[in-house]
Structure formats: structure tokens, C-alpha cells
Amino acid sequence: MIVGLHFSIPARISRADFVRAWATWIQRESQAAGLDTGDNFLSIELPCGESVAYKTTDDVPLVDVPCACGVPEHWFIKYEVAQ
């Protein structure tokens, strides 16, 4: 399976809370490192050439996002409950 972002979330934490905390951490670390994220908060490109971009943290979906290429093993975002 090829996944751009693979989140393994503890069962006691909601997806929304997890993504919000993750996004806050990413923004803080990017700023601390002096990285310019450009116009998008997050861009993902898979080896098949398909890509997706999210302008803000609120735009990051809380559901699995399959790749538009149609290959069942390609995902932009995949969530699972941590064991």
C-alpha cells in the first residue's frame, strides 16, 4: 500500500482532536525550522503522479482519501485505530 499520510490514532482520541493536535505540531515545527509552506498547509504527491493540496488545517479531511488514479492500494490519507 502507498499512503501519503497514515494516521494510527489511539481509540480514546477522536480523529478531529488528533488531526488538530498533529496540524498544530506541524505548523509549530515548520515555523521553528524556518520552512515556507507556500500557499498550502499540506501537499501530498504519490508516485503515480496524482497530488492533492489542503490550504488550511481545517481542510484536511477526517475520512480516508483514496487516490484519484484508481489503484486500490493508493491513498492520500488513511486512518486506523491504533492497537
Q: How many domains does the chain have?
A: 1
- For residues 59-73, give the mean pLDDT: 93
Would you report the helix, strand and coil content of the chain in percent, each value rounded to 5?
Answer: 25, 30, 45
- For residues 45-61, give the mean pLDDT: 91
Domain that holds residue 57: 2-81
Res 26 pLDDT > 90: no
The amino acid at residue 24 is T
The neighbouring-strand residues paired with 51 are 45
| Separation between Cα atoms, residue 3 and residue 5, nearest integer Å | 6
- For residues 4-17, give the mean pLDDT: 90
